[in-house]
Structure 1
Amino acid sequence: MVRGIRGATTIDVNTEQAISEATSELVTKMIEANQIVPESVAHVLITVTEDVTAAFPAKIVRQFPGWSYVPVVCAQEIPVPGSLPKCIRILMTVNTDVKQDQIVHVYQREATKLRPDLSTSES
């Protein structure tokens, strides 16, 4: 079965270090919470708001052990007025036997506002 696993986070400042740290933290939590192995990942789509330009989050994902062959791409979010600024969103498409309602979607930092119904105490 193919499932989508979502995650989102924010950065305080548009720097390579902030993007790297936030992306790494988010992907690590997504992997741990859903017991993801790179071989099960079909692809990863990462979107960023127009104010996140200092680095490619996809580059960070490819640096995880075993993830160098996973197809990863970055794109820009639609700049909707009033939307959450400095946001990084991730959609992993994964082959898994886990039921839809058992997938753990991860929302961190200010991104918990995007889906409070799916967010835990991550901040």
Structure 2
Amino acid sequence: MVNRGIRGATTVTNNEEGEILRETVTLLREIVDKNDVIAEDICSVWITMTEDLDATFPARAIREIAGWELVPLMCSVEIPVKGSLPRCIRLMVQVNTDKTQREIRHVYLNEAKRLRPDLAQNQ
């Protein structure tokens, strides 16, 4: 097994706690489903949000998923580059796997599909 990073991103319409938590879980579930991994395979999850999102910590949503209580989670603010995609949540899921880099399925949802159209089309 090797350690691989699985990228994912999504956006929300509003800076609201419920929407941030829901979209975080939706994104994580898509990453897990498309890559056929379980919480026990996860080394850690790095979560960033753009600085226009401050209604909650997105890690809260992941900690509430059964079986994910012990997965190390870290939240941070994305680098505030002018003109970057607003209201964006990004995940970097570090996973132990036998899959090759080419077999990893990165997930981009909502407006975040614009970040990596090359990867979004392979979903």
Q: Where does 1:20-39 land on structure 2 (aligned, <5 Å)?
A: 20-39=21-40
Look up the SS of the partner of 2:56 in the other structure: coil
Look up the SS of the partner of 2:102 in the other structure: helix
Unaligned runs of 5+ in 1: none
Structure 1's consecutive aligned runs of 4 or more residues displaced over 2 angstroms after TM superposition are none
**TM-score, structure 1 length as denominator?**
0.96
Look up the SS of the partner of 1:6 in the other structure: strand
Cα pair 2:12 2:19 within 8 Å, conserved: yes
Query: Residue type of the partner of 2:56?
Result: A
Mapped partners of 2:116, 2:86: distance in 1: 15
* Alpha-carbon shift at residue 120 of structure 1 (Å): 3.1
Mapped partners of 1:36, 1:48: distance in 2: 24
Residue of structure 1 in register with 2:104 after alignment? 103
**TM-score, structure 2 length as denominator?**
0.96
1:121 and 1:105, CA in 2 relative to 1: closer, same or farther beyond 3 A? closer
1:102 and 1:118, CA in 2 relative to 1: closer, same or farther beyond 3 A? same
Q: For each residue in 1:54-111, what CA deviation from the matched residue of structure 2 results, as whole angstroms up to 9, or x when unmatched?
A: 0111111111111000000100011000000000000000000011001000000000
RMSD: 1.2
* Alpha-carbon shift at residue 13 of structure 1 (Å): 0.2
Residue of structure 1 in register with 2:88 after alignment? 87
Count of matched residue pairs? 122
* Alpha-carbon shift at residue 24 of structure 1 (Å): 1.1
1:121 and 1:103, CA in 2 relative to 1: closer, same or farther beyond 3 A? closer
* Alpha-carbon shift at residue 52 of structure 1 (Å): 0.8
Mapped partners of 1:103, 1:97: distance in 2: 10
Q: For each residue in 1:3-59, what CA deviation from the matched residue of structure 2 results, as whole angstroms up to 9, or x when unmatched?
A: 000000000000001101111110111110011111111100000000110011111
Residue of structure 1 in register with 2:9 after alignment? 8
Mapped partners of 1:121, 1:9: distance in 2: 16
Cα pair 2:24 2:61 within 8 Å, conserved: yes
Mapped partners of 2:86, 2:70: distance in 1: 30
Identity within the alignment, %:
48
